[in-house]
């Protein structure tokens, strides 16, 4: 199932798109899909960061996961 989203653009831009005979619907769709993925990833990363901070408070670890892994690798573990 699909839905329609209307976007208001300047008249000049619409004319340019028509002159270039561009099928911009696919481009807009792809852009929106990328934006949604990016925003979801940002939210997940924020949740992970919040969880890491809370876990750090309980365990006394304040380093990021990357720092802990790097330190472990540096010491040959």
pLDDT in tens, 11-70: 999 999 999 998 889 999 999 999 999 999 999 988 988 888 888 888 887 677 677 778
Establish if 65 belongs to a structural domain.
yes
Secondary structure element (H or E) that encloses residue 8, with its range: none
Q: Is the pTM of this model over 0.75?
A: no
Report the domain count for the chain.
1
Which domain covers residue 70, as residue numbers?
Answer: 24-74
DSSP of 30-77:
HHHHHHHHHHHHHHHHHHHHHHHHHHHHHHS--S-HHHHHHHHHHTT-
Cα separation, 67 vs 70, in Å, equals 5
**What pLDDT band is residue 8 in, cutting at 50, 70 and 90?**
very high
Q: Is residue 57 in a domain?
A: yes
| Beta strands in 10-62, from DSSP E residues, in sequence order | none
Task: Indicate whether 35 belongs to any domain.
Answer: yes
């Amino acid at each position: 199932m699909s839905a329609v989203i209307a976007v208001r653009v300047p008249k000049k831009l619409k004319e340019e798109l028509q002159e270039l005979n561009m099928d911009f619907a696919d481009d807009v769709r792809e852009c929106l899909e990328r934006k949604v993925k990016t925003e979801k990833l940002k939210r997940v990363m924020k949740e992970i960061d919040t969880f890491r901070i809370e876990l750090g408070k309980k365990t006394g670890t304040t380093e990021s996961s990357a720092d802990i892994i790097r330190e472990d690798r540096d010491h040959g573990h």
